[in-house]
Structure 1
């Protein structure tokens, strides 16, 4: 009996449904992996149903989301690789650190405790939400305008609008507050144990990202370099926060597969 294929678990971030990973699932399936993109707690099976019931995803925090993925992973036939985007990249790093995964690719991952960079672009993006503390236990949704201004700002407006219509969903605000207050909250859930024994990690940032600017990811890279495990960083010119879903997604997937191959985590031909 052949050995089970190595699983890859894809973890979406705020404001994007797991359906946005569909091209990646097909790409990595062809490469010989077994792929799946589970949603966050409360997500509907598709973007439309998630938009129709935003209360189901309200007040979901980083620990709860991480725990749901860890429970899913525990039932897999083999230990997985995790690939995450934005807050999904933070969740993926947590899963790697706690031993639930054998390798990780984090695309524009949200910041965690110990990251002190505060780029102006991120203040303009998240500031208006964080200025409304009553939203903490609720959800918040982009408009087509704000999505293009802060999320898909380096692609044409027509493409941004298409991504928004196809994949955008409301998101719980709680993780944003947890990350924003991580450095002043002793019990913050926005943490990653950067010293825990772990497998290889690739961090990817975009020069035009206004939601998780490159300076944030570079700070995470500096922290993760304290680990004895392999840690690599790639900075992509001209790419924004939608890089995992827009027309240039394939080049990001190529980087991820190249990294996994270099680390002997990809199927051998």
Structure 2
């Protein structure tokens, strides 16, 4: 078992409530606490929510910044298995909402038939996606150019965070988000995504053909430099071949910070409307 006592407590509370559970999956450079406004939104609408961390995530942003290497070496399948373990402990198949690499993991879980409904927001590219804009390469450079990438966590500088995350915001808000939410991250998932199309055993592979995948909404920020719109559109074309309902929403003038910045509610309402259509 990899679940913490806090995560087991959230699962128990969701099961005891009898309500439809919503599982939130964060990506690189954030902690699960970044989902707090989203959890409040969905709980106000009658859902039970839980936001497990990645295995061995520090409890707070302060602890994370003090120990960057706590994130080192985490891999996509390891994290996916952790969330699958949480889902297996739920009494009902959940809604799964993920951002960035969390959006990739949400799609991997859907491909295993574990999700009732899935929302993937600015999802990192999975195996088979060929779009690779230069802005995505620049955003990934701090991890891709890291020496001993399996042994150390990667902390973004303000300038790197500004380009990759908050390019659509003014500097005051961007710096506030950097100070409040940004934590170090493992660089391994970025290497895994970058080399997936050359690796027959790539952990970023998603089963897009499983008929038990369920409804899927992909959301792209039109100004995202880290996961550009064209990448999400490429994912949509692959996922749209699935018999399950597949939709794509483009949020204008939004960057990679769209789940934590001042405009998060527009994205949250887009996700909520899709979920309520299938699980009111």
CA distance in 1, matches of 2:126, 2:236: 11
Identify unmatched segments of 5+ residues in structure 1. none
Give how far 1:211 is off: 0.4
Give how far 1:16 is off: 1.1
Q: Which residue of 69, 76, 81 maps to 1:67?
A: 81
CA distance in 1, matches of 2:33, 2:201: 32
Structure 1 segments, 4+ long, off by >3 Å, are none
Give how far 1:56 is off: 2.4
Q: Please name the residue that 2:125 is paired with.
A: 111
Q: Please name the residue that 2:10 is paired with.
A: none
For the pair 1:233 / 2:248, whether they are aligned, the reply is yes
Is the Cα–Cα contact under 8 Å of residues 164 and 225 in structure 2 kept in the other structure?
Answer: yes
What do the CA deviations read for 1:224-256 (whole angstroms, capped 9, x no partner)? 011110100011110000001100000001000
For the pair 1:29 / 2:49, whether they are aligned, the reply is no
For the pair 1:243 / 2:258, whether they are aligned, the reply is yes
Q: So what's the TM-score if we normalise by structure 2?
A: 0.91
Is the Cα–Cα contact under 8 Å of residues 68 and 155 in structure 2 kept in the other structure?
Answer: no
Q: SS at 1:134's partner residue?
A: coil
Give how far 1:134 is off: 2.9
- Following superposition of structure 1 onto structure 2, how do residues 191-230 of structure 1 map, counting pairs within 5 Å? 191-197=205-211, 198-230=213-245
Give how far 1:133 is off: 5.3
For the pair 1:16 / 2:26, whether they are aligned, the reply is no
CA distance in 2, matches of 1:127, 1:209: 16
Q: SS at 1:155's partner residue?
A: coil
Is the Cα–Cα contact under 8 Å of residues 137 and 174 in structure 1 kept in the other structure?
Answer: no
Identify unmatched segments of 5+ residues in structure 2. 1-15
Q: SS at 1:8's partner residue?
A: strand
What do the CA deviations read for 1:163-213 (whole angstroms, capped 9, x no partner)? 111111100000000000000011110110000121100000011100000
CA distance in 1, matches of 2:141, 2:131: 14
For the pair 1:160 / 2:149, whether they are aligned, the reply is no
CA distance in 2, matches of 1:7, 1:206: 26
Q: So what's the TM-score if we normalise by structure 1?
A: 0.95
- Following superposition of structure 1 onto structure 2, how do residues 60-99 of structure 1 map, counting pairs within 5 Å? 60-99=74-113
- Over aligned residues, Cα RMSD in angstroms? 1.4
For the pair 1:254 / 2:269, whether they are aligned, the reply is yes
Distance 1:133 1:194, change over 3 A: farther
Q: Please name the residue that 1:188 is paired with.
A: 202
CA distance in 1, matches of 2:276, 2:190: 33
Is the Cα–Cα contact under 8 Å of residues 142 and 156 in structure 2 kept in the other structure?
Answer: no
Q: SS at 1:13's partner residue?
A: coil
Q: How many residues align?
A: 264
CA distance in 1, matches of 2:155, 2:28: 9
